[in-house]
């Protein structure tokens, strides 16, 4: 039997380049929440893939960004940075031809790492002019001469096999850190809260999702039915009204969509109850963030 390989792969990049979508497709199931809005991911989460003699532990991180206006923004940048400590492989996700100031910010955080660097150029399938892509890949290879550069489409599963091959061969020889059947380090309560937050983020306007968080207060099985009670915290009364919607229609729709995903994830019938509460200034209060589970 060949030697076991195991290690941590930090998936980093600016907001909204497809890091969580990539991790979900590699794992073959939905663990990390996704939306078109930047800064959807707020905390590091491990996605563990064990196949044959390899266990790759992907660390899905918040997007590293410049506008650190609240304690929550600072927290997200901090945990993304922490994921790079003692990591075995850095997987830098960038978006096609675009290279922004925030990409440069991420590059400056990773360029001194001693571990292998892989650059995944996401959404490459959307480029009609492949000549442009080749020129951009050449530019990236000159900027990061020690990196392996792979064009991919996370959403459409294109070239992910090649990407995983590069990751796996870069991992150190090591016994597995986790049981072979384990797929994440996060609790079921955490995953349930994140699914509710995903539906809020997908349905509401630009501002509100960033000032809403979800706390699961009750999570228990009664017979074959899983009962989940979740509290949605917002910062102002007006946000509470928007979230509930006319005659409670919006909160009902959020609950219905979250429940469907929960039933797939937990392989169980789910009864989901949602409440909305105003907690002013929670996103800029270090103590409130810690009490809500935003821990370094």
Tokens, residue 208:
């509100």
- pLDDT value for 68: 60
40 marked among binding-site residues = no
What residues make up the domain containing 273? 188-292
- pLDDT value for 133: 85
Q: What region does 245 belong to: left with phi over 0, alpha with psi -120 to 50, or beta?
A: left
Spans of the chain below 70 pLDDT = 1, 37-39, 42, 65-70, 205-209, 295-296
- pLDDT value for 71: 74
61 marked among binding-site residues = yes
Q: Is residue 175 a part of any domain in this protein?
A: no
- pLDDT value for 128: 76
CATH of the domain at 11: 3.40.50.300
14 marked among binding-site residues = yes
Which is nearest to 288 in space by CA: 239, 242, 237, 234? 234
Identify whether residues 134 and 90 lie together within a single domain: yes
151 marked among binding-site residues = no
- pLDDT value for 258: 97
- pLDDT value for 286: 80
Half-sphere exposure of residue 10: CA atoms within 13 angstroms, side-chain side? 25
Q: Is residue 218 a part of any domain in this protein?
A: yes
90 marked among binding-site residues = no
Domain count, the chain: 2
Identify whether residues 52 and 84 lie together within a single domain: yes
175 marked among binding-site residues = no
> 225 - beta bridge partners?
222, 269
223 marked among binding-site residues = no
- pLDDT value for 121: 95
15 marked among binding-site residues = yes
Q: What is the pTM of this model?
A: 0.85
- pLDDT value for 207: 59
26 marked among binding-site residues = no
Identify whether residues 194 and 279 lie together within a single domain: yes
Identify whether residues 21 and 147 lie together within a single domain: yes
Residue 264's alpha-carbon distances to 40, 48, 75, in angstroms, are 21, 19, 31
Report how far apart the first and last C-alpha atoms of the chain are (Å, whole number): 39
124 marked among binding-site residues = yes
Identify whether residues 207 and 131 lie together within a single domain: no
87 marked among binding-site residues = no
pLDDT in tens, 75-117: 777 777 777 888 999 999 999 888 999 999 899 989 989 999 9
122 marked among binding-site residues = yes
Identify whether residues 10 and 152 lie together within a single domain: yes
Identify whether residues 124 and 256 lie together within a single domain: no
Identify whether residues 66 and 26 lie together within a single domain: yes
Q: Is residue 234 a part of any domain in this protein?
A: yes
- pLDDT value for 212: 86
Element (H, E) at 203: helix 188-203
Identify whether residues 159 and 26 lie together within a single domain: yes
Identify whether residues 147 and 218 lie together within a single domain: no
63 marked among binding-site residues = yes
CATH of the domain at 252: 3.30.300.20
- pLDDT value for 291: 73
23 marked among binding-site residues = no
């Amino acid at each position: 039997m060949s030697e076991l390989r195991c290690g941590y792969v930090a998936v980093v990049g600016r907001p909204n380049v497809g890091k969580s979508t990539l991790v979900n497709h590699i794992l073959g199931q939905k663990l990390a929440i996704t939306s078109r809005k930047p800064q959807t991911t707020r905390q590091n989460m491990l996605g563990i893939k064990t196949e044959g003699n390899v266990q790759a532990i992907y660390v899905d991180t918040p997007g590293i960004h410049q506008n650190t206006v609240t304690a929550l923004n600072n927290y997200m940048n901090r945990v993304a940075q922490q994921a790079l400590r003692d990591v075995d492989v850095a997987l830098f996700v960038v978006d096609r031809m675009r290279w922004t100031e925030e990409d440069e910010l991420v590059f400056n955080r990773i360029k001194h790492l001693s571990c292998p660097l892989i650059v995944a150029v996401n959404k490459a399938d959307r480029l009609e002019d492949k000549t442009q892509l080749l020129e951009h890949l050449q530019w990236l290879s000159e900027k990061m001469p020690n990196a392996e550069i792979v064009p991919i489409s996370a959403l459409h599963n294109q070239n992910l096999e090649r990407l995983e091959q590069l990751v796996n061969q870069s991992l150190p020889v090591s016994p597995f850190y986790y049981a072979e059947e384990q797929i994440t380090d996060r609790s079921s309560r955490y995953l349930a809260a994140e699914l509710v937050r995903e539906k809020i983020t997908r349905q509401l306007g630009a501002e509100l999702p960033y000032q809403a968080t979800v706390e699961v207060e009750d999570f228990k099985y009664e017979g074959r039915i899983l009962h989940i009670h979740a509290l949605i915290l917002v910062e102002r009364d007006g946000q509470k009204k928007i979230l509930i919607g006319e005659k409670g229609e919006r909160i009902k729709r959020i609950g219905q969509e979250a429940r469907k995903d929960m039933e797939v994830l937990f392989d169980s019938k789910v009864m989901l109850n949602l409440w909305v509460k105003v907690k002013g200034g929670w996103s800029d209060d270090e103590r409130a963030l810690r009490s809500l589970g935003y821990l370094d």
